[in-house]
């Protein structure tokens, strides 16, 4: 793996970029430096045309990301707190709107900022030992990296409020049952399952995948009518691509399509 970062590992191979938060002694907690490195890593993955899918995980077998760095939080003034939250939101927004699928391989604790980070990803695959939660109220805070907004969109208002107001954690099995994660697998099978899912996605046309992500992400904030107009616009864009010509021709010729992202 490339060691261009102090708190991350980054490797691009076989159409995938692997981003690993590498602070196992701190349970991969997010401090300012790590957030900055995440922004750099995802900017690199987004601009690398060879990267089709990004996999995000944490070092070790205890934590995906156990939260923000409490020592930094404890020193924040009101103005600094707003800036701190806005900076983290911008990084997570970049991940969500990357234009390429980002799969969170949640391999342990995903608490506070870690849960918010997982929710900013396109898909979430969890190991059986993972634990999720937004415990900020127990510190006298609220989630600041999008948790109050993404959580209810994923699990519904009531379940989100129960987690947010109590600060209590949920198991991987419960996270699956409420829609917080998409799949739960044994810890030993986590990365192979994620790799298999990424491989299935990479069989699809790259531009069509990107437009699907855009349609869902933007459409969730629109009325049904506006969302369908967005869908029609993106369908039209797909219709002008070489990949659409190749995909339809391959189907009619009963062969595997060879997409080029054009």
DSSP-derived secondary structure for the chain = -B---SSEEEEEETTEEEEEE--GGGTT-B-HHHHHHHHHHHHHHHH-TT--EEEEEESTTTEEE--B-HHHHTT--HHHHHHHHHHHHHHHHHHHTSSS-EEEEE-SEEETHHHHHHHTSSEEEEETT-EEE--GGGGT----SSHHHHHHHHH-HHHHHHHHHH---EEHHHHHHHTS-SEEE-GGGHHHHHHHHHHHHTTS-HHHHHHHHHHHHHHTTS-HHHHHHHHHHHHHHHHTSHHHHHHHHHHHTTS-------
Catalytic residue from among 96, 116, 193, 242: 116
Distances (CA, A) of 221 to 1, 157, 214: 38, 16, 11
Catalytic residue from among 136, 162, 189, 214: 136
In sequence order, the β-bridge partners of residue 19 are 10, 56
39 is catalytic: no
Q: Which two tokens stand for residue 175?
A: 């996270």
Give the number of other CB atoms < 10 A from CB of residue 212: 17
116 is catalytic: yes
Q: Which two tokens stand for residue 262?
A: 């054009």
How far apart, in whole angstroms, are the C-alpha atoms of residue 99 and residue 216?
11
The residues assigned a catalytic role are 116, 136
């Amino acid at each position: 793996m490339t060691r261009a970062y102090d708190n991350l590992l980054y490797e691009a191979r076989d159409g995938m970029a692997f981003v690993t938060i590498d602070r196992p002694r701190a349970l991969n907690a997010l401090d300012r430096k790590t957030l900055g490195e995440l922004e750099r890593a995802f900017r690199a993955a987004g601009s690398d045309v060879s990267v089709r899918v990004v996999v995000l995980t944490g070092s070790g077998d205890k934590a995906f990301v156990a939260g923000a760095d409490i020592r930094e939080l404890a020193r924040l003034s009101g103005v600094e707190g707003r800036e701190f939250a806005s900076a983290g939101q911008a990084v997570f927004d970049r991940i969500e709107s990357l234009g390429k699928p980002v799969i969170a391989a949640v391999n342990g604790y995903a608490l506070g900022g870690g849960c918010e980070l997982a929710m900013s990803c396109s898909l979430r695959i969890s190991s059986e030992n993972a634990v999720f939660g937004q415990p900020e109220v127990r510190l006298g805070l609220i989630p600041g990296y999008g948790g109050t907004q993404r959580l209810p969109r994923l699990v519904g208002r009531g379940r989100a409020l129960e987690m947010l107001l109590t600060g209590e954690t949920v198991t991987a099995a419960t996270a699956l049952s409420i829609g917080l994660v998409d799949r739960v697998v044994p810890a030993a099978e986590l990365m192979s399952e994620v790799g298999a899912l990424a491989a299935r996605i990479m069989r699809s046309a790259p531009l069509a995948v990107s437009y699907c992500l855009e349609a869902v992400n933007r459409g969730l904030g629109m009325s049904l009518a506006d969302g369908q107009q967005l869908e029609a616009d993106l369908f039209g864009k797909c219709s002008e691509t070489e990949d659409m010509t190749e995909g339809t021709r391959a189907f009619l010729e009963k062969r595997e399509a060879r997409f080029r992202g054009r």
